Every structure is written in C-alpha cells, then in structure tokens.
Structure 1
Amino acid sequence: MEDAHVHLLELENDPTSAYFSVFDGHGGSHVAKLASRYLHKQIAQSEAYLQGRISDALIEGFLDFDERMLEDDGLKDVSGSLAVPLSIDHKPSNEEESKRIFAAGGWVEFNRVNGNLALSRALGDFAFKTNKNLSAREQIVTACPEVETCTITEEHEFIILACDGIWDVMTSQEVIDFCRTRLASGSSPDLICEQLIDNCLSQDCDLNGLGCDNMTVILVCLLQGRSPEDYLKQLQKNVTTRAGATNEEIFSTPSHSPPTAVVQEADIDSELIVPVEHCPTETETISMEQSVEEETNEIFEEDQLAEKDGTDGTEGTD
C-alpha cells in the first residue's frame, strides 16, 4: 500500500483547526508516510500559520518539508508523494504545468514528465529538481501546492478526499451523489467509504487497469456544532426539498455537528472535492421534488426491512 493519509480533528498546537490529507505514493511509500506524519506539523509551526496566513503557511510548509527531505541523503533517491488540493489535477498535460516543465528544461511524453512521472507536483522526486538556476517553485516537478480557499458555511455538508484510484473510475459528481444519498438514508460514514471502494474495485484487473489501483478515501461530515442526529435531519430535508443537487467542487451542502472523519483503505491516488449545490429553476424544483422524495422514502423503507432481517439494506458492489 503506497498511499498514506492523516485525519486530525484537532491540531496539536491549534485545537480549533482540523487537518485532513491523502498522499498518493508512487514508486514507494516512504515519502507518503513521512508527509502524513510530519507535514501538518511543519505547516502549523510556521510563522505564516501563527499569523493567520493559512494559504502562505500551506505553500511554505510544502516547500520547507520538501527541502528538509532533500537535505537527508537517505531520501534523495526516494520516489515522491502527491497531495492535490481541491479537484485540480496537476498533470503534465495541463497547459500551465507543461509551461513550467518546458521552461525548466523538461519535456512531456505520453502525458508523463520526461516520459516517466505521471504528475507534475510532488513531494520528493528529487531527480526532477536539479536545476540550481531555478527556485523550488520553478523546477520541472515542484512541491509547491496550489492553494484554494473556501469558506465553510451552513450550506456545506461534507468533504471528500480520495486518491486517483477512486477518481479514475468515478467522476466527482458521481462520488458526491453516491455518498450524499447514502448519508441521507442513514448509512454510517465508514460503511459509505467501504461501499464506495467496493463500487470502484474491478472484478478483473486484466482489463484496462481501472479499478485495480490503490484506493483511499476520507469522508468528513461537517456537523458544525450540531448533533449527528440534527445533521442527518437537515441532510434528509435538503435531499428531499432540493433534489439532492450537487456539483463538483469541495464541500457538500448543509450539515451540522463537530467535524467527524472516517477513513477506509483498500490495496487494489488525491483529490479534495466539495459539492456545491445546483440551483434548480422553479420548474425544475417542482418536477424533481416528488421523484426525489419518493426515492428517499424507498431507501428508508429498504433500510427498515434490512434491519428487521438483520442485513444491510444499502447498495453494495456492482
């Protein structure tokens, strides 16, 4: 298992902040494990973080952590790890990423950096950071993260972080819909993570490779000071009255209670998305409302029957 993750409901030196990361290890797990253990400490102890400049703290933390690893002779040849903030893919085929790669003396072949690495930002991978005339941000492969800020409001329900073992199989919207429907039906976050991975697993890894990669997913329910029971009631109301509409971004819609994190792994790489609600027209709302309410009621009825039978009534693996 090359992936690593960390989920902290409280930072050691800042109990008011939570921290969640998924690190997609490639060619080895060492850097991913180091990042999961120490990167958040590097960020939280930085001067920028102490001054409340969170975006700067994230950028400085990644670069400083990468530099510290570079100074360790035992790590110079270790393959790296990628943490992708939000849903932006840092791939060599991306126009802005390829500009930096070419400017640093690299090239892109078969959508890989120098024909080798399938990503363009990573911790480690020091073989791509050897140009002494360029800053750390300008190297062929850089550890500098792309930071986006999103203010969490009552309209945000949950956060999903997952590696590309998930995203190669399902779209962001499909994942959001998958999790949201099951949360509203009363399924536990850990069961939903398990079902999501099962849904992505391939029954035959001899085909095109999809569904055969390492898979890690974190589902963070944004309770926001309310009880899990109140969170569930509000989520069910949202799904019924607003047709459960969600779009690809970084948080889902309303929820309530202190942040809860659940992690599920499978050995078979990372993106953070937040669903933002689609705003249907009045006509759409009227036409969609009844069908969603009926669907939700069916789910609840199935769950009740399953409880009587002693079985799990939620959808399993295809």
Structure 2
Amino acid sequence: MGAFLDKPKTEKHNAHGDGNGLRFGLSSMQGWRVEMEDAHTAVVGLPHGLDDWSFFGVYDGHAGSRVANYCSKHLLEHIITAGGTEELHRAGSPSPEAPAVEAVKSGIRSGFLKIDEHMRSFTDLRNGMDRSGSTAVAVMLSPEHLYFINCGDSRALLCRNAHVCFSTLDHKPCNPREKERIQNAGGSVMIQRVNGSLAVSRALGDYDYKCVDGKGPTEQLVSPEPEVFEIVRAPEDEFVLLACDGIWDVMSNEELCEFVSARLEVSEDLERVCNDVVDTCLHKGSRDNMSVVLVCLPNAPKVSEEAVKKDAELDKFLESRVEDIIEKAGEEGIPDLVHIMRILASESIPNLPPGGGLASKHSVIEAVYTRLNPHREEDGNVADLEDPW
C-alpha cells in the first residue's frame, strides 16, 4: 500500500472513441506506485439493443489489482442484468416516467451487490490469498439522463456552463453516516481509516471487512452499495470527468474543471488533454496511480485560435526564461531542474493554464532544459518537494 518506486513510471495507457453524440478520451499512469492497480471501462453503445446508451467507469484498486480488473470487465453486465433491459429501454425513451428512472437506479445498486457477492466465490478472494478491493466511480448516459454512480473515494463531476454543476461525494470513514455504519458493525474509525487500516468506507471486494455475522451486505464495515444520482441532461452540459484519488489528491473539482476547459480550447485530441491532466498531477506531487476519463458532450469547449496562440506564446516565454536562467548561472554551473522550477514558481507568469499552473508546463520546461544540458544526471522529481508551486 505504501511502497514507492525510485522514480515514477510515466508510460501511459490511452484510448478514445465517439458515438451517441459524445467523444471520450482516457489516460492512466502507474506513477510512483510499485504496481498499477487502476482499471477503467469505456463503452459507447450498450448491449441488448441499448445502442443509444453509454457507460464509463474508473476503478481504483488497493492491496492488488484483481478486483479492479474484474469489475472493469464485468460490472456493466451485472448492472444491465440486474436493471433489466426492458426497464432500461423504458428509462431511455423520450420523457421517461419517474418509476422507470428509479428502476434504473435500483438496478445499478443491485448490480453492485451482485458482482460483489459473485466475486466472493472466487477461490483466491475467498481463502484470503488475495485481499484486494476497489473503488468504483461511473457514469451511465441515456438519451435523457446522466446516472452518476459512486462507491468509494474516486470521483466524478459534471461541467455545465463552465462550472462544476455536480460532483459525487467521497465515501470516507470519518463521514458521520459512514462512521455510524462502521461502529454499528462493531468496527472503529482510527486515523481516519476503518479499524485504522482501510481509507475508504465503501468498496467492492475487501472481504476481510465484510464478515460481521448478523449484518447484511450494506451493513458491513465496508459496504459495496453505491450512491446513484440521476441528472436530467441539458443542452448546456459540457463534459463529464471520472478520476481516481491520485488526481483528486492534488486538484480540486474546480481546478480540474477549469484546467480541462482551458486545454479543450487548445486541443481537440482528448487523449492529449487527459495526458496533460495526469502529467500535471504527477508534477503537482501525486504519489498514486492516476486515471482519468473525459467524456465530452455536444456543448464542450471548442478549439480557439486565440487560446492556441496564447499557449504557444507562453511556451516560447518559458523556453526563453529557462535559457536566461541557465545563461546567468555562468561559472556556477547549470542549476538543476528543481531549482529552475523554484525560480519560475516565484515569478508572476501571465496566462498559465488555470487549475494547472506552472506544473502543467513542466514538460515544456524540461524539454528546453534537457536540450541545453543534454548530459545531466536525473534530477529529483518535483514530487519530492513540499508544494513547490
């Protein structure tokens, strides 16, 4: 859980696609962790005739990747089976009635409980050889609604009219409702963790915390029950973001919304935008695995010539400043990259990407630094610094 590499693994897994009036991109990076435990789902057009529905999810595994990987492949089918295709069709029709919408929400909850019970039968999970668990955050889109689904401390948000219109609530042991359930199951909350160990109060898997006699599955120390929120889609909807806590540890809802909005004005490549998010979070100090899924709706920001021009001007300015700093160092020798970042962080630099700041331009700065100092040894990563920005 707490083990880190000597340097981060920055290779990324990417994917993108489109359909049903939306486009999506995603990026995931192992980062400083010794193992990649995140997984994701991205499906445009669901089975059983639900062609105009879509589903996206992020799963943040802990104590191993087994549960996260299984859920990424099979959670959707459990939800569809539990929800019933007829109910989903009714809920996806024009102006669906409230009972149909509630049936979808109920089916989603049932799907989570069913997959959690199903995985309990796996030999390695049953006998304790594998003690892994996973959070899950997802969004299911019908033609009329957005169904936000959350179990754990990964998070989803909806950007509407350039503002955070909605975000899911993290399930932390200290939350009064979660703490009450934990205590009723005979557990305790110490150092903000379940029994002083697990940092989330809801998750799939984690069967060591789901064996209290006389308590149902949603009454255990750790519950597999998701919270489901239904939002009527609006023309002003711009994009949905799903991300694990490796992202949210270093960026707030508003910062990430602003940053993605600004990057969408510079690039229509959603994989690139998602890569910018994980790179920025790495250089803001995130030590965790990082995964982000971006779902752009018809009203998402479009590329702006003015924004592209300003971004290019900012890059040139930063390149020039790095050259100046190195040139002024003179006989003292070229300072290391961390020192240069500290100098730049102390300056008032106009037009830095909102929400991302100087960290989002680390690759630009590093590129010119490497060009001017090609034989440098590896510098300490800025994640080693205390809040360098």
Question: How far off its partner does 1:184 sit?
Answer: 2.5
Gaps of 5+ in 1: 204-209, 224-230, 238-295, 307-313
Q: Percent of pairs identical after alignment?
A: 39
Measured in 2, the distance between the counterparts of 1:137 and 1:65 equals 14
Look at both structures and tell me which one has the larger radius of gyration over its CA atoms: 2
Question: How far off its partner does 1:47 sit?
Answer: 4.4
TM-score, length-normalised on structure 2? 0.58
Q: Which residue of 2 aligns with 1:121?
A: 202
Q: Which residue of 2 aligns with 1:280?
A: none
**1:28 matches 2:31:** no
Q: 1:92 to 1:38 in 2, by over 3 A?
A: same
Contact in 1 for aligned 2:209/2:221 (Cα 8 Å): yes
Equivalent in 282, 295, 320 of residue 201 of structure 1: 282
Equivalent in 57, 71, 92 of residue 121 of structure 2: 71
Matched residue type, 1:79: S
Equivalent in 297, 300, 307 of residue 308 of structure 2: 300
Q: 1:47 to 1:23 in 2, by over 3 A?
A: closer
SS at match of 1:150: strand
**1:317 matches 2:361:** yes
Q: 1:173 to 1:305 in 2, by over 3 A?
A: closer
Contact in 2 for aligned 1:100/1:140 (Cα 8 Å): yes
Matched residue type, 2:220: Q
Aligned length: 242
SS at match of 2:227: coil
Equivalent in 183, 191, 196 of residue 102 of structure 1: 183
Q: Which residue of 2 aligns with 1:143?
A: 224
Q: 1:49 to 1:60 in 2, by over 3 A?
A: farther
Q: Which residue of 2 aligns with 1:17?
A: 53
Q: 1:73 to 1:236 in 2, by over 3 A?
A: closer
Measured in 2, the distance between the counterparts of 1:138 and 1:48 equals 25
Contact in 1 for aligned 2:267/2:273 (Cα 8 Å): no
Q: 1:211 to 1:93 in 2, by over 3 A?
A: same
SS at match of 1:93: coil
CA deviation profile, 1:142-172 (whole Å, cap 9, x unmatched): 1000111111211101100000000000001
Measured in 1, the distance between the counterparts of 2:283 and 2:63 equals 22
Question: How far off its partner does 1:83 sit?
Answer: 1.1
SS at match of 1:317: helix
CA deviation profile, 1:226-266 (whole Å, cap 9, x unmatched): xxxxx56xx359xxxxxxxxxxxxxxxxxxxxxxxxxxxxx
Measured in 2, the distance between the counterparts of 1:186 and 1:3 equals 26
Contact in 1 for aligned 2:61/2:68 (Cα 8 Å): yes
Contact in 1 for aligned 2:83/2:104 (Cα 8 Å): no
**1:80 matches 2:162:** no
> What do you get for the CA RMSD once the two structures are aligned?
2.7
Larger strand proportion of the pair: 2
TM-score, length-normalised on structure 1? 0.70
Question: How far off its partner does 1:70 sit?
Answer: 1.1
CA deviation profile, 1:258-297 (whole Å, cap 9, x unmatched): xxxxxxxxxxxxxxxxxxxxxxxxxxxxxxxxxxxxxx76
Contact in 2 for aligned 1:202/1:212 (Cα 8 Å): no
